[in-house]
Amino acid sequence: MNWRGVLVYAENYSGRIHRASFELLGKARELLPRISGELFAVTVTSENKAEEYSRELIAYGADKVVEYVVEENHLTNPLIHRNALIDAIKYIKPKLVLVPATPWGRSIAPRVAASIGTGITADCLDVYVDDEGNIVQVRPAFTGNIIAHIKTLTNPVITTVRPGVFQVPSPDYGRKGEALIRSIEASGADKLRVLRVARVKTVKLSEADVIVSIGKGVRSREDIKLFEELAREIGAQLACSKPLVDMGWMERDRQVGFSGNIVKPRLYIALGISGAPQHIAGMRDSKYVVSVNIDPSAPIAKYSDLFVVGDIYDVAKKILQALRNLK
């Protein structure tokens, strides 16, 4: 059997295509000359959105868009998406399948790999083709401490890729492409029912440009206001390390770290965070890191561009005062 081309799973259960899907189309275009074949995008959609999605996916680089038109109540059912992706792989026989490593993608893709009987590599930071023409996947392990290069011996190669590692290509709405409609059975999907959206996230740290992050150096829940004010004044998102979430002082969506959000803002300001490995795993790719800590031996120092030894309350108040004087 001849496995050719690249298949990108376009995540759109929320009603819009996740930008990570476009990033993957961009990367796939770049890899395609070494893999040969065509670039396919696969999506599950309601009838009224099918045309809009295919136009968009072609503009971002897809040659062919395979669309599974389903009933409205099936759009958020992960088992339907699983069925669609399995059908698409059997139909297209791609060499490489790229899926965004969002919580959604990391839930569906492994089921597909298990069902097809092929290898899957999680949360990759890069994918390349080596000198022998093998697809190699690069991923962190051990809470970000080890980087591994992984080859897949079976077909297709299934890879989930961390959102934000590749650029979104600029769309070309003049590009020509083809849309194919396929149908799937809803078999097995009734074992799971998505009842409703419980809570929409108020903050998405992974997309934040500037972050003020607080840790155990904050002495009481009341005191968070001071740092909230600092974040607001400089147009930053307020974030925190794990202990503040464990104490119930901050919501989980604001937690930076291995078990929270992996961020890479332009500027990361860590206040009273010592720098446990699990926190470092969440912020080490920030462009510029400032940290303030009373303890000169805090491990976060070596991950910082600027390390200020001092009292976080004092520093925060003085910065706020200086900003007021500027106005």
> Which of the ranges 38-46, 52-60, 66-74, 195-203 carries the binding residues for other proteins, by CB under 8 A?
195-203
Q: Does 117 bind other proteins (CB under 8 A)?
A: yes
User: What are the beta bridge partners of residue 158?
Assistant: 97, 120
Instruction: Compute how many residues bind other proteins; rule: CB under 8 A.
Output: 94
Q: Does 1 bind other proteins (CB under 8 A)?
A: no
Least distance in angstroms from the C-beta of 180 to other proteins: 26
Binding mask 253-272 for other proteins (x = CB under 8 A): -----xx------xx-x---
Residue with tokens 């303030």: 292
Q: Measured between alpha carbons, how far is 111 from 142 in angstroms, rounded to an integer?
A: 23
Question: Residue 288: in which H helix or E strand, if any?
Answer: strand 288-293
Among residues 63 and 104, whose Cβ is nearest to other proteins?
A: 104
> Which of the ranges 33-41, 53-61, 165-173, 300-308 carries the binding residues for other proteins, by CB under 8 A?
300-308
Are the CB atoms for 101 and 127 separated by under 8 Å? no
> Which of the ranges 24-32, 60-68, 221-229, 316-324 carries the binding residues for other proteins, by CB under 8 A?
316-324
Among residues 40 and 307, whose Cβ is nearest to other proteins?
A: 307
Q: Measured between alpha carbons, how far is 11 from 255 in angstroms, rounded to an integer?
A: 24
Q: Which of residues 49-78 bind other proteins (CB under 8 A)?
A: 76, 78
Measure the CA angle with vertex 166, ends 163 and 170; round to 5°. Answer: 110
Q: Does 203 bind other proteins (CB under 8 A)?
A: no
Residue 289's identity, in one-letter code, is V
Q: Does 81 bind other proteins (CB under 8 A)?
A: no
User: What are the beta bridge partners of residue 140?
Assistant: 147
Q: Which of residues 7-26 bind other proteins (CB under 8 A)?
A: 13-14, 18
- Token pair recorded at residue 37: 């074949």
Q: Measured between alpha carbons, how far is 56 from 61 in angstroms, rounded to an integer?
A: 9
